A and B are shown apart, each in its own frame.
Chain A
């Protein structure tokens, strides 16, 4: 009988300075201070040998590889220390950021420059200026390093094709399309871009990962809920089904922060996703740091109901801790506010898990995780939150025993 409430992460961890600097410049012993400080905390016993190697390395490409591999090791050990059951690829240490990392490996796409995304945020947006295809593997190196060093099963997060296309300009496929209706032309060109992204970039990547031994791939699609119109949601379903077709691998979806629209629309379409074994969703950020499992106690988790009512029958990765700045108050039993962080207690995690399980109706379908990646938190805070998640899952197991 497998353990109830397995614990996982969603993806990212903050990158330490030595990881960022070490990619482009040689490191000094001073630069590695933070690594040295964390080595005993995380049980990295051969730290001094590894550090010596990096400090002495004169070939910058070899040094980069060593730094990347070491940062993956740190990420894996941090997740292990917290007590997670699946440590992913060790905090996505080998990726710049979820969009850029993929796009720079796509032939036919160029970065156009910084573009306003919303509010005061800008991002480097790329354009498909000619027919696209993958230049070389994107996540494989990181997966192989994780496989080499991980002491637990591995879930590989990848950026989904719908998001990659939505966050890009589409010149090539628009220019190709001759439909005189601007609306139809735009829709047809978008679909063609998306299907190409799947066929020429994402599926070859999944093929390489599965051939190298990957048995679980999490497809991140933050763009999905930003276009709740039926045409777009159907396009997403078509894209998902085409992406996973034929692969013998577990697939899960992570979609987060849908804003006021909420998860309602995703809940309506989720049952149409083929081979979607799990939906990893965020709830903690919309929930209050207060204990309780009575009917109206956990407003943040009510959104689960619609998924269940609509007939999604897979697992849920339930977001049990917040991953961004917090500016409210927490009941002392539920957590502690330290600066801009709320450090949730295991009891709060337990209550969230128990509450979610009641809505889902089948505790064996519940996984526990942070709301999203932890890259905006310090390692101390990330470790504290993840440890609470693991301990909270333990407490929840006791409730069900």
Chain B
């Protein structure tokens, strides 16, 4: 059994926190990145295979007064780089609730093993990207009770490879399944598994 643990990424964590202590945001972000690096280290020592760094704030920004600018993005990516330094393959950066297209190239350039996008927010048809990293497709909607058909999932995953060339596509919900009644969450996990077998068979 392989274990994966998700943690909120340092950028998202700092964005969603009220800063009453640090002189500025970069200081807060760096301290968070330090803490997360240590958390990840201890998780790996305990037998966890993969740590997911969840960074919805990289793609979801309507709460902001002004759009995310280059320097703030750089800071965010520095934070992630700090966390994953030394063992990029043990990490995945996952984004959701927003469109990953504006930052996809930067995400794909991060020292991580895989990058995740939310297909319910990212319009793939406009994308043309290529990467040696794995891509996690947020392909089952965690906010809708409609259980996606496994054939539809497999077809959609195949089609996505026309827009992001990747050695491996990983099927996932776009976000946490806790917002669904339990039986529906279970069915969504099953349908993902069925879709994965369909893809493997093809």
Do these two chains interact?
yes
Complex alpha-carbon distance, A180 and B63, angstroms? 29
Residues of B within 8 A of A115 (CB): 179-181
* Interface check B145, CB cutoff 8 A: yes
- What 0/1 readout, one digit per residue, does chain B (150-190) give for beta carbons within 8 Å of chain A? 00000110010000000000000000001111001000000
Q: Is B124 a contact of A174 with CB atoms below 8 Å?
A: no
Residue A169 contacts which of B121, B125, B146 (CB distance < 8 angstroms)? B146
Q: Which residues of A contact B178 (CB under 8 A)?
A: 116
A114 neighbours in B (Cβ, 8 Å):
181
Judging by beta carbons under 8 Å apart, are B121 and A112 in contact? no
What A residues does B122 contact at CB under 8 A? 183
A229 vs B67: C-alpha distance in the bound complex, in angstroms? 12
Decide: A180 and B159 in contact? CB cutoff 8 A.
Answer: yes
Looking across the interface, which residue of chain B has its beta carbon closest to that of A174?
B146
Tell me the smallest distance from the CB of A8 to a CB of chain B, in Å.
31
Chain B residue contacts of A228, Cβ below 8 A: 62-63
Q: In this assembly, does A37 line the interface, its C-beta being within 8 Å of a C-beta of chain B?
A: no
Q: Is the CB–CB distance between A180 and B156 below 8 Å?
A: yes
Is A286 on the interface with B (CB-CB < 8 A)? no
**Known A-B contacts A169-B144, A260-B63; A181 and B179 likewise in contact (beta carbons under 8 Å):** no
Kindly identify which residue among B63, B144, B155, B181 contacts A174, using a CB–CB cutoff of 8 Å: B144
Tell me the complex Cα distance, A183–B156, Å: 12
- The verdict on A24 contacting chain B, using a C-beta distance below 8 Å, is no
Q: Which of B119, B124, B125, B179 contacts A116 (CB 8 A)?
A: B179
Pairwise interchain contact A181-B63, C-beta atoms closer than 8 A: no
Name the residue of chain B whose CB is nearest to the CB of A129. Answer: B145
> Which chain A residues lie closer than 8 Å to B146 at the CB level?
169-171, 174-175
Contacts of A181 in B (CB 8 A): 123-125
Instruction: Say whether A169 contacts B63, CB under 8 Å.
Output: no
B139 within 8 A of A: yes
A229 nearest in chain B by CB position: B62
The reply to whether A113 and B120 contact each other, CB–CB distance below 8 Å, is no
> Provided the pairs A112-B181, A265-B62 are in contact, do residues A170 and B120 lie with their beta carbons within 8 angstroms?
no
Determine whether the beta carbon of B119 is less than 8 Å from that of A183: yes
Report the minimal beta-carbon distance from A79 to chain B, rounded to whole angstroms. 36
Main secondary structure of the interface of B (DSSP, over half): loop
**Size of chain A's interface in residues, with CB distance under 8 A?**
24
Contacting pair A183 B62 (CB below 8 A): no
A186 contacts B120, C-beta separation under 8 Å: yes
Report if B55 contacts A (CB, 8 A).
no
Which residue of the partner chain, among A127, A180, A186, A261, contacts B145 with CB atoms under 8 Å?
A127
Tell whether A311 is near chain B: CB-to-CB under 8 Å: no
Asked if B36 CB lies within 8 Å of chain A CBs, one says: no
A171-B146, A174-B146 known; A184-B123 Cβ under 8 A: yes
Chain B residues within an 8 Å CB radius of A174: 144, 146
Task: Let me know if A169 and B123 touch, CB within 8 A.
Answer: no
Closest chain B residue, CB of each to CB of A260: B63
A213: CB under 8 A from chain B? no
Interface centre among B63, B139, B141, B178 (most CB of A within 10 A): B63
Complexed CA–CA distance, A186 and B65 (Å): 27
Residues of A140-171 whose CB lies within 8 A of B? 169-171
Chain B stretch 22-40: residues in CB contact (< 8 A) with chain A: none
Tell me the chain A residues, 214-262 only, with Cβ under 8 Å from chain B. Answer: 228-230, 260-261
- Tell me, rounded to whole Å, the shortest Cβ–Cβ distance linking B90 to chain A: 29
Q: Which residue from chain A places its CB closest to the CB of B140 in the assembled complex?
A: A182
Query: Closest Cβ of chain A: how far from B81's Cβ, in Å?
Result: 28
**Which residues of A109-126 have CB atoms within 8 Å of chain B's CB atoms?**
112-116
Residues from chain B with Cβ under 8 Å of A112 in the complex: 145, 181, 184
Chain A, residue nearest B184 (CB) = A112
User: From residue A91, how far is it (CB to closest CB) to chain B in Å?
Assistant: 32
B159 surroundings in chain A (CB, below 8 A): 180
Chain B residues with Cβ below 8 Å from A186 are 120, 141, 144
- B54 to nearest A CB, angstroms? 17
Cβ–Cβ contact A182 & B141, under 8 A: yes
Q: List 13 A-B contacts (CB under 8 A).
A: A114-B181, A115-B179, A115-B180, A115-B181, A127-B145, A175-B146, A181-B124, A182-B141, A183-B122, A186-B144, A229-B62, A230-B62, A264-B65
B residues engaging A (CB < 8 A)? 62-63, 65, 119-125, 139, 141, 144-146, 155-156, 159, 178-181, 184
- 8 smallest beta-carbon distances between A and B, as pairs: A169-B145, A228-B62, A171-B146, A182-B119, A113-B181, A229-B62, A261-B63, A174-B146
